[in-house]
Amino acid sequence: MAVENVKRIDPSRIEVPLDYKPGMKVRGVIYVDEVLEQDLEPQSIDQVANVAMLPGIVQSSLAMPDIHTGYGFAIGGVAAFDVREGIISPGGVGYDINCGVRLLKSNLTKGDVAPVIKDLVAALQTNIPSGVGSKGRIRLDAGNEKKLLIKGARWAVEQGFGHAEDLERTESGGCLDGADPSLISAKAYERGRAQQGTLGSGNHFLEIQFVDEVYDESAANALGLFEHQITVMIHTGSRGFGHQVCTDFLEVMEKAVSRYKIELPDRELACAPFGSPEAENYLAAMQAAANYAWANRQCIMHWVREVFGSIFRMSPAQLGMQLVYDVAHNIAKIEEHVVNGRKTKLIVHRKGATRAFPPGHPELPDIYKPLGQPVLIPGDMGRASFVLLGTEKAMKETFGSTCHGAGRVLSRHQAIRKAKGRAIWREMEDRGIIVRSAGRETLAEEMSEAYKDVSHVVDVVHNAGISRKVARLRPMGVVKG
């Protein structure tokens, strides 16, 4: 049922008007077509409106078509705040700081991998720890843990986990400057010490895929993608470390709200004025957690290469296992955007949203400047994932942002109830997809019916012009936490 008090702007967008709730400073805009609008949760629309009340917000409070209710901000939410009078809010980043996606390409084809897919999935599950509380192969002492938090993926490469060229193909070079390890609590250090190089649980995964369809052959060629090619997608974040950083600073922000007399429509939007000690400390701690996540994905990718090399008895170079790109989708970053005709420095919150910068943007590596930023959108384990490119329209409308995935339609408890009595792994195998998981409940939580159809979500952002489709990837083998 369509939600009242919102109006359709065009086939891809609806507006949450200024009079939707008293106190809104800007309008809300949700990227959703008429079909996906039927599944919109009233709570998530309220969250878009609540964010529009925060101090210093500019242009619009945004949400992508994978929107669903989250903590504070809706998941799929994007909001930018002027650094002179705005705020920073942990609820606009989320608990899993720098949860993100990286994609490897290879010289292998579907025909090469199909005969050994079960061996590959088993080897990946054995070599890359996953699941709740999983512990990795890396044991960090205090000195190395702090170096990792400052250097991010650079630390991993220095330890022999990958190559310098990997960093060029990672958002922000796999490292945010400004991280301050002294701001991290003992509990966060304790949680992070044994989890570096682990996949985690929930919607995190490692997936062997093949290129099923190419929409833009020229762009696909530039990215090194071709039909029937084997790719590997890694989706994980900062694990318990980032979760603890968020938990710690939510307490700090709740006190800051009183100290700075900030009026909030929802206490989950606890925040502090940008430039205040509380905001600066959260930003530096969040940057440390983001760096932890980039190092995590870098280490996992190194072991993926090793597993493929072992199965095929070839080196990763011979297999052509090269990183296409790595993107974050739970992060806040200081960026310059044009607001009311003027270049303005903003703190852009992307919570369940992916950066989608256009060709020529100064933050892109030289190899992708003519093309635009690669955008990686994972779907559920039974359907598909997508590679897209950022656009100039995204810079104008969404602060260079797009969707981050399919978006849930069932809660985890609802999915478990719906899967009762079913063998999800067998259903997947009957469809030609080999799935392994640390627990049966994870497969129930993550079954396809729990998610929107990612193809539909991606069509919305493509049709809206805020990212453009390059290729579709189909799963062959999946490791879940």
Are the C-beta atoms of 380 and 205 separated by less than 8 Å?
no
Number of Cβ atoms within 10 Å of the Cβ of 150: 18
Report which of 125, 253, 145 is spatially closest to residue 192, judged by C-alpha positions.
145
Are the C-beta atoms of 97 and 237 separated by less than 8 Å?
yes
Report which of 128, 120, 337 is spatially closest to residue 239, judged by C-alpha positions.
128
Residue 377: its H or E element? strand 374-377
Q: Of 235, 302, 404, 462, which one is the catalytic site residue?
A: 404
Are the C-beta atoms of 98 and 293 separated by less than 8 Å?
yes
Nearest-angstrom CA–CA distance, 397 and 401? 9
**Catalytic (active site) residue 404:** yes
Report which of 250, 290, 262, 289 is spatially closest to residue 81, judged by C-alpha positions.
262
Alpha carbons within 13 angstroms on the beta-carbon side of residue 315 total 3
Instruction: Give me 264's structure tokens.
Output: 């909030």
| 72, 148, 316, 319 from 104: Cα distances, Å | 33, 23, 11, 11
Instruction: Give me 448's structure tokens.
Output: 């396809």
Nearest-angstrom CA–CA distance, 250 and 237? 19
Catalytic center residues? 404
